[in-house]
Structure formats: structure tokens, C-alpha cells
Amino acid sequence: MADRFRITLGQLNPTVGDLAGNARRARGAWEKGREAGADLVALPEMFLAGYNAQDLVMRRAFQLDVTTHLNALAADCADGPALAIGAPWVEGTKLYNAYHILKDGRIASTVLKHHLPNETVFDEVRIFDAGPLGGPYSVGNSRVGSPICEDAWHEDVAETLAETGAEFLLVPNGSPYYRGKFDTRLNHMVARVVETELPLIYLNMVGGQDDQVFDGGSFGLNPGGQLAFKMPVFDADIAHVDLERTPEGWRIVDGEKTAHPDAWEQDYRVMVLSLRDYMRKTGFKKVLLGLSGGIDSAIVATIAADALGPENVRCVMLPSEFTSQSSLDDAEALARALGCHYDYVPISEGREAITRTLAPLFEGRNADLTEENIQSRLRGLLLMAMSNKFGEMLLTTGNKSEVAVGYATIYGDMAGGYNPIKDLYKTRVFETCRWRNANHRDWMMGPAGAVIPQQIIDKPPSAELREDQKDSDSLPDYPDLDAMLEILVDRAGSIEDCVAAGFDRDTAKKVEHLIYISEYKRFQSAPGARLTKGAFWLDRRYPVVNRWRDPS
């Protein structure tokens, strides 16, 4: 009996619905595995369809197309190693999240996912049927058990595989990033290794899909929980992993253990990669954004330059009479430092025309928020006109603090196709700007150095929609606001939790009220990069009409 088994791991980036392209990527990985003498080439969960494909996989025509591509892939990869790939699978009236082992020109084995996640961004209970607890499949001289993603977070699937003869575990995943996720995964996988006393290989995909980014970071564990190898985060990569038979069974041969960056760098890379993949996978090449001279648009412009290259980013200053000279100077300085195209489009004449048009209707009424919102909506109108004319996607620039409490104008500064900082609180915006000024990586397409002027970071935030306006006129100071939002949004905490943390009860109630009454804005807002388990969109779903408030 051979004492060596080689697996080629494809930590790759699929595109939802691109069946031909995903199959082509799978064949490319398989060819590299064949060249390396692999016994098995493995790809992540649902790789052929792309993940998270949501209700798309319930379409009968899509299911049939997946099967056609799966059979063609099996035929193309007949002469060489087995190929393991995730794809939806129909049996009778049931639809499964499945993992297929292709050998000798056919689908030789199929593993059906048993535990279907039904939390955060996942709705698999409403999409898929739960498969039964099953046994391992054979490849060459080995019996392999493959708990599919969520299945490895529960002890029963891995234990059943061990009891029915699995010699090691290969776990295919479509596991998206949130801050601290790698440690959570590692802890769960260590538990499976300790329980089963089997080696475990955790294979994750990479790439952006709508708001989610799959961060890779595939790894292997030997019995006892010892780390055998660790692949990079966020990078598409192919690794050849060897297992060696010992008197105690298979053991993963030690390989490279890539160091992962800190949380600040990972968050920033998620925002860059999510925008880059959103653009690439939807077909857009260029973006534009309103550049106000403030910190939010500054970090979005920088993310865009790093994601797409400065030559593909148009920055537009749209000043009114309330725009300060420092904002004008700061916006231009930022655009020049980044190397982005810069346009200057004053809105005063358009605002005056709208004011005259509405004057007969508004006669006898004092100026209020209406007039402020007209400015924001006029900017949105002009930016969308430029987006249409130039074929450039408009980025919106509201941070999570503003998105949470509705401190943004619907159909105004909320207009746009994507929001890279939608899950980044204002206090983290400041720190992220400082981080980017001090750090540059080879995956950034923008220039190195302190590209965001210090003046932008230091000055008090303001929407500049009236004289001497400051954000603090309407909201608690951002450190306090963000701390309360983390309690009320990210932790789904209570008013009492805010009070226990030292905040004024009435202020906490006001913040809670603003969160609830702003739901209709978020319902219509652009998607954005998910950084936490408390992101607005699929992680947190509340009714638009909601009269309940915390009675405490």
C-alpha cells in the first residue's frame, strides 16, 4: 500500500452563475494537480455555481445547466487525478448543497450537506434540503470524509465519518469574512480533530460576491490540533499538500505557514477586494464619486484607487456657498495625491433654479432640512448624470455610523451602486485613514505614502449644508455614538446595556429611535463590503414599518 497521498488545493475565486468560467478554473487547477502528481484535486463548496448564489440555484434551468457543466467537467478530467468540486444537486424533488468526486469520466461519489446554516448571510434552510449523515468516499488508497462547511461546525458529521472508516477529513468551504473569523474557524476545526483523531484539511474560497468577501486562509491540522500548513488570506492560490502514512494513520506533511495580517489590514483589504470583484464581476471598469473634502469620501476615493487604479477613478467636487475653502483645497490635494481625475462642478446655479421653482409652493415657510437635502439631492442628480454619460459606476460614501442613524440623504448622498465603507464605523474610518497613510501593500494599485492629507483627518466632520454646521450638532460625538451602535446593532443589545456602559438613557433612546426610523433608507441603499456579523443587509433584517421601542 502506498504511503503517500497528494491533494492539490484550489483556493480560487469563482463567479456566481459563470458556470463555464468556473469550470474552466476548475480544469486549470486539475491540470496543475495532474502535473504535480496529485491523487486528488479539491475545490471549495459550491464552486461550480459560485457562492452565495441564493435563490438562483432554485431555478430549474440553472440546475440543468449545472449538471451539464458538471458532466462535461468529469469527462474532461477523466485521465488523471480525481476532482472534488462543490455544486448544487437535484435528486427527485429535493435540492442539495453537494460535493462531487469526479473520477474516470463520471461522478463517482456525491456528498450531501447535512447541517444547513440559517443565520447571518445564509438562508440555506429555505433553499436546500438537508442530506443524510453519510460515510467517506474512496480515492486511490484512501477513504476521505468531507463535511461540507457548516457540517464541520457540528460534531456529529465528522464523528459519523470517522466511525465509518474515514482516514482524514477534507472540509470544502464557502466561508465569508468577518473580523476575527479565522480564529473561530480554527477553534471549531481543532475540536473536530481532537474528537476524531483524524487529520483535517480546511479549504476555503476567495473573492467578493455582493457584500461578502471569502478570505481563503485554508489550513491543515494534524491529530492533537497541530497546525501543518496555512495558506494566505484573500489571495487565489493553488497548493500541493502531501499526507504520509504512519503507524498511527495518515499525517499531513508540514508545509508553509503563511502569517496573516492584522485586523486593520484585513478590513482594508476586504473593502478593496469587494469593490474590485464587484466591478469585475458586474462588468464595470471605472467609478466616480463626490469628493467633499471630508474623511469619508477621502477613504472611499483611496479604496477605489487601490482597487481599480487611480486612472479609473473620477473624483468630483460639487461645492455650494457653504463649502469651505479648506474643503476645496483638501479635496483637490487628495485627488492629486492619488493621481485620480478631478472635476469641479459648482451647484449654486442649479440650487438657485430649484429654489426659484419651489418658491411659490414654499412661500411663508422657514428654511429647514428641506433646503439642506436639496443640495444633497442635486449633487446626487449631477453625479448620476455623469455616471450615465461616462459609463462609470457611482460610489456612495456613507459610513456605518451615518447609515445606522440615517444621517444621510436618500436619493442624495446615498445615491450610488456600491458603498465600500458601509460596515465601517466613523471612528474606524479615522483609524483606517491613518493606517493607509502609514502602509502600502503590493495588492494596492494606488500610490504609496500619506495620500490622505492630515487636515482631512484632523478637522471636525461636517456635511457643510449650512453655515458652521458640524455633525456633533445633530449626533452624539462619534466615539460615544459608535459605542452605543455596537451595543444596539452589532450585539443586538438593549437600552439597559447602553446605560450599564455609562451612557445617558435618553441619548441611548434617541439613538435607538434613529436606527429604527432609518430602516427604509437602508432598505433602498447600495450594497457594501461586510466586515462584521452586524452588517446592514443580510446580517440584520428588520421591518421597515416598526412601532416597537425598547421599553426599558
The residues that bridge with 536 in the sheet, in sequence order, are 540
The CATH code of the domain that includes 31 is 3.60.110.10
The CATH code of the domain that includes 359 is 3.40.50.620
Q: Which residues contact 524 (CB under 8 A, 6 or more apart)?
A: 410, 414
**The C-alpha cell of 95 is what?**
435540492
Task: State in Å, rounded, how far the first CA of the chain is from the last one.
Answer: 68
140 and 241 fall within a common domain:
yes
pLDDT at res. 552: 84
pLDDT in tens, the chain (552 residues): 469 999 999 999 999 999 999 999 999 999 999 999 999 999 999 999 999 999 999 999 999 999 999 999 999 999 999 999 999 999 999 999 999 999 999 999 999 999 999 988 999 999 999 999 999 999 998 999 999 999 999 999 999 999 999 999 999 999 999 999 999 999 999 999 999 999 999 999 999 999 999 999 999 999 999 999 999 999 999 999 999 999 999 999 999 999 999 999 999 999 999 999 999 999 999 999 999 999 999 999 999 999 999 999 999 999 988 888 999 999 999 999 999 999 999 999 999 999 999 999 999 999 888 988 999 999 999 999 999 999 999 999 999 999 999 998 999 999 999 999 999 999 999 999 999 999 999 999 999 999 999 999 998 877 766 676 676 777 899 999 999 999 999 999 999 999 999 999 999 999 999 999 999 999 999 999 999 999 998 889 899 999 999 998
Phi and psi based region of residue 333 (left: phi greater than 0; alpha: psi -120 to 50; beta: remaining): alpha
Q: How many alpha carbons lie under 13 Å from residue 240 in its C-beta half-sphere? A: 14
209 and 275 fall within a common domain:
no
| Residue 512 lies inside a defined structural domain of this protein | no
CB atoms within 10 A of CB 367: 10
Q: Residue 469 in 3-state DSSP? A: coil
Alpha-carbon gap, residue 319 to 296, rounded angstroms: 16
Residue whose cell numbers read 459550491: 46
pLDDT at res. 465: 67
**pLDDT tens-digit readout, 514-545:** 999 999 999 999 999 999 999 998 889 899 99
pLDDT at res. 461: 78
Structure pTM? Answer: 0.95
134 and 281 fall within a common domain:
no
Structural domains of the chain, count = 2
Residues 483/501, Cβ–Cβ less than 8 Å: yes
307 and 432 fall within a common domain:
yes
One-letter identity of residue 325? Q
Residues 235/308, Cβ–Cβ less than 8 Å: no
Alpha-carbon gap, residue 344 to 362, rounded angstroms: 30
pLDDT at res. 281: 97
Using the CB atoms, write b or e for 65-79: b if 16+ within 10 Å. ebbebbeebbebbee
Residues 101/109, Cβ–Cβ less than 8 Å: yes
Pairing of strands 4-11, 40-42: parallel
**pLDDT tens-digit readout, 398-455:** 999 999 999 989 999 999 999 999 999 999 999 999 999 999 999 999 999 999 999 9
| Residue 522 lies inside a defined structural domain of this protein | no
Alpha-carbon gap, residue 514 to 521, rounded angstroms: 11
58 and 200 fall within a common domain:
yes
Alpha-carbon gap, residue 60 to 90, rounded angstroms: 9
Q: Which residues contact 29 (CB under 8 A, 6 or more apart)?
A: 8, 10, 12, 41, 43, 238
152 and 226 fall within a common domain:
yes
Bond from prior residue into 52 cis (ω within 30 degrees of 0): yes
Alpha-carbon gap, residue 508 to 472, rounded angstroms: 15
| Residue 135 lies inside a defined structural domain of this protein | yes
End residue of a domain, out of 196, 231, 260: 260
227 and 303 fall within a common domain:
no
pLDDT at res. 248: 93
End residue of a domain, out of 201, 230, 260: 260
End residue of a domain, out of 241, 260, 279: 260
Residue whose cell numbers read 476524531: 196
Query: Active-site positions?
Result: 45, 113, 149
Pairing of strands 106-112, 94-103: antiparallel
**The C-alpha cell of 334 is what?**
487628495
Alpha-carbon gap, residue 126 to 212, rounded angstroms: 20
| Residue 493 lies inside a defined structural domain of this protein | no
The residues that bridge with 110 in the sheet, in sequence order, are 100
334 and 254 fall within a common domain:
no
Domain with 240 in it: 4-260
Report which of 551, 372, 353 is spatially closest to residue 466, judged by C-alpha positions: 372
Query: What does DSSP assign to residue 258?
Result: P
pLDDT at res. 466: 66
